[in-house]
Amino acid sequence: MRRRGFIGGLVGCALGGACRMRVLGGEAHAQDAIDFALPEGEKRLSIAPALYYEREAERKVVCRLCPRECRVADRERGYCGVRENRGGEYVTLVHGRVCAVHVDPIEKKPFYHVLPGTQALSLATAGCNMECRFCQNWQISQFRPEQVDSVEASPAGLLRTAREKGARSIAYTYSEPTVFYEYMLDIARETAPQGIRHVVVSNGYIAAEPLRELAPHLTAYKVDLKAFTERFYREQCSARLEPVLQTLKLLRTLGLWTEIVVLIIPTLNDDEASNREMFKWVAGELGPDVPVHLSRFHPTYKIRNLPRTPVATLERLYAIAREEGLHFVYLGNLPGHESESTYCPACGHRVIERFGYVIGKIDLESGRCRRCNAVIPGVWN
């Protein structure tokens, strides 16, 4: 095309898309098959003021909700993807928008020493403040809220649903509850006085002050302790170990019932030395009665090249945990394995029989072993 003609084409079209040029080709029309939905991304957001942040110059903010302490410029979001700086005001985009809600056995969280055999209304919003390469729920945790389907759910509505479904607790789970902290806090504050329990399933990556504010409304906290090395946290989770350990110690100080889950991944965190060190730390710093769940890994998300964890590996680590003095060690994702059940550390009697998420016999009386009367720690009522 001659330059003159080219420029003429430019000028005619430059201010809008309405002009037409002669079609010189375009046989493919590959876009014709595009499947459009309504452009509703922003409708999937539910905005409320964020807590725990500080304003800086030039409309920047520093988030103080989790150890990441994101410094966020105007129009940007924190690492979690659900908290945004809007003109120097930090907001949460997921307050009241759940992208997953189910009624699950509380054993699925897993909590084995909290209201066994009951149902938990379990909910999540999009987002997470870690990026674990083995995330089981990455389709919601690793997305922004406008990228996933969600529905509005008020605290009162959740309470009503929980009661209709016979759930005794509300569980904040699937993604990372810390990133929807304000929503979780509002639900717990509003509904805990009406008799429903609140349990959190978390990676433990939360700052001390927000946890202190939340804890009085909670019944239990489960922490995913991903491994016991900073290297693993850095390389596999884009995070740090030390703040998680601080959270565990704070939970103990606060007196909140805590359970720990460790996903054992072949070659990445299944070595004897670091796990023994972990079990020793738990027994020493948190006490031997903290339940530790060793879960079987399944290939997913960014780790699809490793096999499922061999049962023998889990059993070896189970034995090490017991050697290090932990009273309640469980193997997870192994339905039917005898280590799913709870045994009295004093007499060895099976006090809670489990098969997967199904509870068999419960042989506890007021939180004590029926055979020897030893106290079995937990939240039983």
Part of the chain binding other proteins (CB under 8 A), chosen from 52-60, 98-106, 274-282, 329-337:
52-60
Least distance to other proteins, CB of residue 144, Å: 7
Least distance to other proteins, CB of residue 83, Å: 9
| Count of residues in contact with other proteins, rule CB under 8 A | 59
**In this chain, which of 136, 137, 147, 161 binds other proteins, going by CB under 8 A?**
147
Q: Which is nearer to other proteins, 26 or 195 (CB)?
A: 26
Per-residue x/- track, 108-137, other proteins (CB under 8 A): -----------------------x-x----
**Does the protein bind other proteins through residue 28 (CB under 8 A)?**
yes
Part of the chain binding other proteins (CB under 8 A), chosen from 4-12, 90-98, 100-108, 356-364:
4-12
Least distance to other proteins, CB of residue 32, Å: 5
Part of the chain binding other proteins (CB under 8 A), chosen from 19-27, 157-165, 199-207, 344-352:
19-27
CA distance 380 to 378: 6
Question: Would you state the structure tokens that stand for residue 16, as one six-digit string?
Answer: 């809008």
CA distance 265 to 276: 15
CA distance 33 to 37: 13
Estimate to the nearest angstrom the gap between the alpha carbon of 325 and the chain centroid: 28
Part of the chain binding other proteins (CB under 8 A), chosen from 27-35, 91-99, 188-196, 370-378:
27-35
**Does the protein bind other proteins through residue 17 (CB under 8 A)?**
yes
CA distance 132 to 110: 19
CB 121 within 8 A of CB 171: yes
Least distance to other proteins, CB of residue 100, Å: 14
**Does the protein bind other proteins through residue 77 (CB under 8 A)?**
yes
Residues contacting residue 24 through CB under 8 Å, at least 6 positions apart:
none
**Does the protein bind other proteins through residue 3 (CB under 8 A)?**
yes
Q: Which of 136, 137, 115, 113 is nearest to 127 (CA)?
A: 137
DSSP labels for 82-119?
Answer: SEEEETTEEEESBTTEESEEEEEEGGGTT-SSBSTT-E
**In this chain, which of 48, 60, 316, 374 binds other proteins, going by CB under 8 A?**
60
Residue with tokens 């409320």: 48
CB 277 within 8 A of CB 235: no
CA distance 162 to 300: 31
Interactions with other proteins, residue window 31-50 (CB under 8 A):
31-32, 34-42
Interactions with other proteins, residue window 301-360 (CB under 8 A):
301-302
Residue with tokens 């009951």: 118
Q: Is 362 exposed, middle or buried (0-12, 13-18, 19+ CB in 10 A)?
A: middle
Q: Which is nearer to other proteins, 137 or 238 (CB)?
A: 238
CA distance 100 to 150: 7
Over the Cα atoms of the chain, what is R_g? Answer: 25
Q: Which is nearer to other proteins, 144 or 296 (CB)?
A: 144
Q: Which is nearer to other proteins, 64 or 327 (CB)?
A: 64
Least distance to other proteins, CB of residue 232, Å: 16
CA distance 312 to 329: 15
Task: Give the residues lining the site for other proteins (CB under 8 A).
Answer: 1, 3, 6-7, 9-17, 20-21, 23-32, 34-42, 58-60, 70-71, 73-81, 131, 133, 142-144, 146-148, 238, 301-302
